[in-house]
Amino acid sequence: MSRLDDALRSMGGLNLNQGDGLRLIVGFDFGTTYSGIAWVLSNRTKADQIEVINIWPDGPFQVPKAPSVIAYASENKDRRVKEDRWGYSVVPGMSSYLWTKLLLGGNVAPGEYDDPALKEYFGPGLLSLPPGKTAQDICSDYMACLYKYFVGRFQGGTRVNLKITPMEVWITVPAIWTDAAKRRTMEAAKAAGFGSRIFLGDTISVITEPEAAALTILKPRLDSHVLQTASVSYLSSAPLTE
């Protein structure tokens, strides 16, 4: 049985609207260059009820993703930065870190991106690590910024109490990633807050980017309750950022 079959069976087996109570289903595309989040409540039955974050701090109007970059306040004291910056809030000249997802995946050959032109364009933080932090640490710090923003957006736009609503998180990962890389991704996301409330029944899973794209193509053939869980399929409606 293929991995896509496994994904469909897993997603189709979720007990939505079957007495298990309300759940919040979250699709999280953590990309090398850009990242995005979408969500849907388990009592929704139509694809157009999926909510996509398209407004970001300091970003342009209505864009579905934010840059996967973080700048630590401790490294930008000369700019009077009082708190960590992320996404569009990171401006040129700041000490920042980007493309860290490639290091998390462990599929970057030494020297593969040691191009002076790349370093000049993106800055010294490209594929770099600050002292005392791992790639997983940086990715988790960035994810924590997204999670905090997502929670604020969700709570400000719905009457659903997130404090008592279980969260079901699906994260897209490259198809070539090893099980170890997938595990590091989930660990980073859980440390950031995604699917971390075990006492509430939160769950977190990964789905490969080709599988997410296939789910989009198959949407018309899926049962309505499977379509609800396919909120992750939004992640392939915009360009996937591997």
In tens, the pLDDT along 123-164 reads: 888 889 999 999 999 999 999 999 999 999 998 888 889 989
Task: Print burial letters for 50-59: b (CB count within 10 Å at least 16), e (below 16).
Answer: bbbbbebeee
3-state secondary structure 73-105: HHHCHHHCCCCCEEHHHCCCCCCCEECHHHHHH
Q: DSSP class of residue 128? A: -
What span, in angstroms and rounded, lies between the C-alpha atoms of 122 and 74?
A: 20
Categorize the per-residue pLDDT at 205 as very low, low, confident or very high, splitting at 50, 70 and 90. Answer: very high
**Start-to-end C-alpha separation, the chain:** 25
Nearest to 163 by CA among 171, 172, 155, 175: 155
Residue 145 tokens read as 């910024």
Q: Name the percent of the chain lying above pLDDT 90.
A: 51
Q: How many residues are present in the chain?
A: 242
What span, in angstroms and rounded, lies between the C-alpha atoms of 54 and 229?
A: 20
Distances (CA, A) of 108 to 105, 127, 135, 141: 8, 9, 12, 21
CA torsion 187-167-229-204 (nearest 10°) is 10
pLDDT at 26: 93
- H/E stretch holding 29: strand 24-30
What span, in angstroms and rounded, lies between the C-alpha atoms of 242 and 240?
A: 6
- Helix/strand/coil percentages in the chain, nearest 5: 45, 15, 40
Q: DSSP class of residue 212? A: H
pLDDT per residue as tens digits for the range 28-66: 999 999 999 999 898 887 777 889 999 999 999 899 999
Locate the DSSP E strands across 100-236.
Answer: 167-173, 203-208
Residue at 204: amino acid letter: I
